[in-house]
Structure 1
Amino acid sequence: MRFHSLPGSKRYAGDETEYAIVLRRYNTVLHELFAGGDVYVITTVWSPEPAVPDHRTGADHWHTVLVRDDPDPEFRAHAHFFTARLPWRYGCVDDLLREVAGDRVGNVLVADTRLERVHHPYDGGADVLLRTAEERDRLRDRFAAWLSRHPLGL
């Protein structure tokens, strides 16, 4: 299911008032999904090298995947996945979410520790994966005003 971050499906916040709306929407859905539990915050660093780069947040390296194997080293791409486990509380990842909303960081996931619920924020909104259709429908109905009006839900 896809939620939009701003009214009218606006993609980027233009001022602090709009950033406040973006963070409120992200956090409201995240809190609905994860209140009272721990979450994994998964981030990705891309590099042409298989060596694990430093990660600015101090998260632990989880896994590296060669995404594009090319004989020319300039065109190789390694995705280095980092994880941090933390108790969920409203606003605890605001700095990261603000970076995502401004398209300065991408490929972020927030998930419960069983990986049954996943929140994927991006510039413009968030995709949410849930365990059941019933759970999806409850979340959809609760935050219907934040859904796309596009017939395909995009």
Structure 2
Amino acid sequence: MPEGFQVKQVRVLAKARQTQWYVVISMALDVDIPDHPAVGRAIGIDLGLEKFLTTSDGFTVERPKFFKSLQGKLELLQRRAARKQKRSNNWEKAQLKVARLHQKIANTRKDFHLKTAHLLCDQAQTIFAEDLNTVGLNRG
């Protein structure tokens, strides 16, 4: 192992009603971050409720509606699951279908965020973002 490298903890856990298994490894590494002045193109991003984000040069990204697009299918699966006798095999299968659909929604959100971050990183070398409480914004 490299010097200054420590494994803090390793745990195995299951998420989403055993639809997927994950291994979580937490590591710590002593890294020196150099203090370089910002060079190259710099942009600022502003997160919003109507638009997903707007950059300082006028580029906007629309807010996708992943949940709304699959809400009808989710309601159907949840109604089917509610009609099953609790803890039966068919109830377990129905719960698994609901969990998989929730996992699909979460994965599409995560994919969108990663692709948007990649797009922003390709546009500029330095990105400034505001420190914003988005949960508080959503409350109105």
Q: Which has the higher contact order (CA 8 A, sep 6+)?
A: 1
TM-score, structure 2 normalization: 0.25
Higher helix share: 2
TM-score with structure 1 setting the length: 0.23
Larger Cα Rg: Structure 1 or Structure 2? 2
